[in-house]
Structure 1
Amino acid sequence: MGKSAPSAPDPKKTAAMQTASNISTAQAQQMINMVNQVGPWGSTTYSPTGSTQFTDAFGKTHTIPTYTQTTSYSPEQQGIFDRTTEAQTNLADLAVQQSDFMKDYLAKPFEFNNQDAADWAYDLASSRILPQQQQATEGLRSQLINSGLRPGTAAYEREMTRIGQNQSDQMNQLMLQGRGQAFNEAMATRAQPINEISALLSGSQIQSPSAGYVGTPSSQVAGVDYTGLVNQKYQADMANYQAGMGGIFGLAGGLLGAAGAAGGFGKLF
């Protein structure tokens, strides 16, 4: 009886073996990458801490080791970190206190009195601009009279009206600028406590202790192509089988040809 043809690989079994090979490769790669580090700022170490169970798509359970990464400061850096943390805690406590104050502070609506701003601007003008305007008015009056223009004449009244309007515009502009400045100062005063608590909250944020440490090296380990190897072996076995079957058929054909030339199988045998 001739040799039977090789059986095709079981896809489920092949895939399960490929999964197991991939998991083994991943575990080896993880252990290669977990390199302990020691530097001027401190150290980073890895230590096994147990294992976890993983069930693949084929129902096979795999045990995978687990590790813990520990980062430690040098004594000097640890001291700096402790003091910085203490300062951040103090800032956080101040922020809590300020937040209690802000409840009542923000409950009161912002108020701005336009009349107060106008009075402030007028008081500012009274000491400097009003005397200057008065001096300018007197100067124009003297100039007009010396030029022959008397009070009551059209030209005289026109010139006096012009300087009066200019001085009024000057005062209005001062009032507007003064109001804008007063409004900005009032807004700044209103926002000051808010800015302070924002600064306190920003200063109390937790900082990452990873500064100064090099990232974990990464080594790529190529996995074994188990599926490809199984398929290659099957193709090779099939080629050998077909070659063997070709030899048998060739021998049988040769025997039949010889028998025909001799006049039958009886004469051949």
Structure 2
Amino acid sequence: MCAPDAPAPPDPKETSAASTATNVGTAIANANLGNVNQVTPDGSLNYSQTGTYKWNDPYTGKSYDIPTYTATQTLSGTGQAIKDQTDQAKLNLGELAAGQSSFLKDWLAKPVDLSNDATEGRLMDLGMKRLQPALDARRQANEADLINRGIRPGSDNYAQAQNIQDQGENDAYNSLLLSGRGQAVQEALAQNSAPINNLTALLSGSQVSQPNFVNANMPTIPTTDTAGLINTNYNQQLQKWQQDASSSSDLMGGLFGLGANLIKFSDRRLKKNIRAIGTFANGLTKNVFEYLWGGGEQVGVMAGE
């Protein structure tokens, strides 16, 4: 009796190919589950397969057709009209920005002068426009008040009042120069930045509202461990083969042991009252005998015949 042949181990490339094919199929199925068409009041989103591409497995050399998809977003009628108008507005703003940008080339080429003379000059200009009219009005009111009180021009009291008026105006300008420097610098910088800010505002434009699509809660198909199943099946076959081989070995050992025992108990020295009574079909002498330890008459052969 011969032991059974061991099962052939699985081919690595075939196992890899089976596993890859399962994974690719699962990935495609999951992609199809996730491509959910959506419809909202603001528009719709539709998925469609628009082609395939070949992917070659670098290990097995097998190729697979992988589908490609396109997501198409469509606005509602109102949303599309708003978008068209917004696009036109952006175009107009862009054209304005293009014109302003050429102006900025010359504007930015002139740095802002923040020196003391330039700053005080701006403050004095501001004082002449805003402060001086108020000072002139106050001077006229004071002069009228002096005359009404009988203090005439040329008198000492009148001259003293004029000196006080002059000192007040001088103090007002000094205060403007001392306290207004920071404001004058900020205004100069703001004036210099105004064209840039205007251009930035023109370029920013306005944004169209996008449709709000829901996130579909879709299940995914788990990947099948094909390689694991193949190897598990092989291990089961190998284990069965090992068990069968072990049983065959035990059986052969038992048969050999039984034969040895038969030969041992056929020894003439273990028997008595031996007498021949005929022959077996194979030509061996058929004898009747008793074992030395008893047990009655037995029929058999003698070792050595």
TM range (shorter): 0.7 to 0.9
Compare 242-251 and 214-223 and name the one that shifted more: 214-223
The residue aligned with 2:62 is 60
The residue aligned with 1:143 is: none
Q: Which runs of 5+ in 1 are unaligned?
A: 136-166
Give structure 2 stretches of 5+ with no counterpart. Answer: 143-168, 267-300
Q: How does 1:72-83 map to 2 (within 5 A)?
A: 72-83=74-85
Residue 119 (1) aligns with residue 119 (2): no
Match of 1:245 in 2: 245
Give the whole-Å Cα distance in 1 for the aligned partners of 2:203 and 2:263.
111
1:43 aligns with 2:44: yes
> Is the 1:259–1:265 contact (alpha carbons within 8 Å) kept by the matching residues of 2?
no
- The 1-side partners of 2:252 and 2:265 are apart by 13
TM-score normalised by length of structure 2: 0.67
The alpha-carbon distance between structure 1 residues 69 and 125, as it changes in their structure 2 partners (threshold 3 A), is closer
Supply the RMSD in Å over aligned alpha carbons.
3.0
How far has the Cα of 1:125 moved from its partner? 6.0
Selected match of 2:106 from 101, 104, 107: 104
1:82-130 superposed Cα distances (whole Å, 9 cap, x missing partner): 11121122111111111111112112222351341353476566655xx
The aligned residue for residue 160 of structure 2 is: none
* Structure 1 position 28, deviation (Å): 1.0
Report how far residue 255 of structure 1 moved.
1.1
Pick the structure with greater CA Rg: 2
The structure where strand makes up a greater share of residues is: 2
Secondary structure of 2:199's counterpart equals: helix
**Distance in 2 (alpha carbons) for counterparts of 1:181 and 1:37:** 57
The whole-number CA distance in structure 1 between the counterparts of 2:124 and 2:178 is: 12
> Distance between the aligned counterparts of 1:97 and 1:215, measured in 2?
44
Instruction: State the partner residue of 1:85.
Output: 87
Shift of 1:219: 3.2
Written as runs of structure 1 = structure 2, the 5 A alignment for 1:1-20 is 1-20=2-21
Higher relative contact order (CA 8 A, sep 6+): 1
Question: What amino acid is the match of 1:68?
Answer: T
Distance 1:265 1:103, change over 3 A: farther
Q: What is the total number of aligned residue pairs between the two structures? A: 233
Task: Indicate conservation of the 8 Å contact 1:35/1:217, yes or no.
Answer: no
Deviations 1:212-264 (A, max 9, x none): 12246553210110111011101100111011111111111221221122126
Give SS of 1:263's match: helix
Q: Summarize the alignment of residues 27-38 of structure 1 with structure 2, pairs less than 5 Å apart.
A: 27-38=28-39
Larger helix share, 1 or 2: 1
TM-score, structure 1 length as denominator? 0.76
